[in-house]
Copies of this chain bind each other. A is one copy, B any other.
Amino acid sequence: MTKGKLFVISGPSGSGKSTVIREVFAKRDNLYFSVSATTREPRHGEVNGINYWFLDTQSFKKKIAEDGFLEYAQYVGNYYGTPVEPINEHIQLGEDVILDIEVQGALQIKEKVPDAVLIFVFPPSFAELERRLRGRKTENEKRILDRLETARKECEKADIYDYIVINDKVEQAAEEIMAIMSAEKCRTKNRICFIREV
């Protein structure tokens, strides 16, 4: 059986990345969404294994020591990390794995898994990004300006990604991600064993 592949998707807040990923999951089977682990307390309604894997600090640190994370970071006093085990399991089962992570985490993963495919989701323009962030109406001016500044910094690192998807229309962006997933399976390095067998 052909093994699955790891697709790492990043994009600034307002790029519409999550909506695009949902569209991909709605259209494709044989996909697994990587769930992060965290030491922060579950919020109301959050389910273990769906929103996060909720771990206590001791278990989290033990997992770090055992090299159980593809990447991890500390943020506002809590740990966040990508558990390697479920990803490997699903890849062995022939499923593709999608991992939604910010730029620093993506860089760490590329180092550990050179075979991972990195996709950067981009808004059609900065004006549109700003419009989307303001449209949420849940954030104050300072927060919006912070997010725009972070977006600018993240976009500067887009050149380390393998692919750039411009999310003008969600359907089109999802199609592009699915095309990338299909094309990557055809890469010679992934199929040359087949040729040799024949």
Residues in A lying within 8 Å of B, measured CB to CB? 119-120, 122, 125-126, 155, 158-159, 161-166, 175-176, 178-180, 182-184, 186-188, 191-192, 194-195, 198
Contact = CB atoms under 8 A, between A and B. Distances in A.
A163 B189 CA distance: 8
Given A125-B198, A126-B198, A198-B125, A163 B192 contact: no
A186 B182 CA distance: 13
A44 B183 CA distance: 40
A192 B192 CA distance: 30
Contacts of A182: 175-176, 179-180, 183
Given A179-B179, A182-B175, A182-B183, A120 B198 contact: no
A159 B188 contact: yes
Given A166-B191, A179-B186, 14 more contacts: A122-B195, A125-B198, A126-B198, A158-B188, A159-B192, A162-B187, A163-B186, A164-B186, A165-B186, A179-B182, A180-B182, A180-B183, A180-B186, A182-B183
A54 to B, nearest CB: 35
Contact of A166 (B159, B179, B194): B194
Nearest to A162: B188
A192 B175 contact: no
A155 B196 CA distance: 9
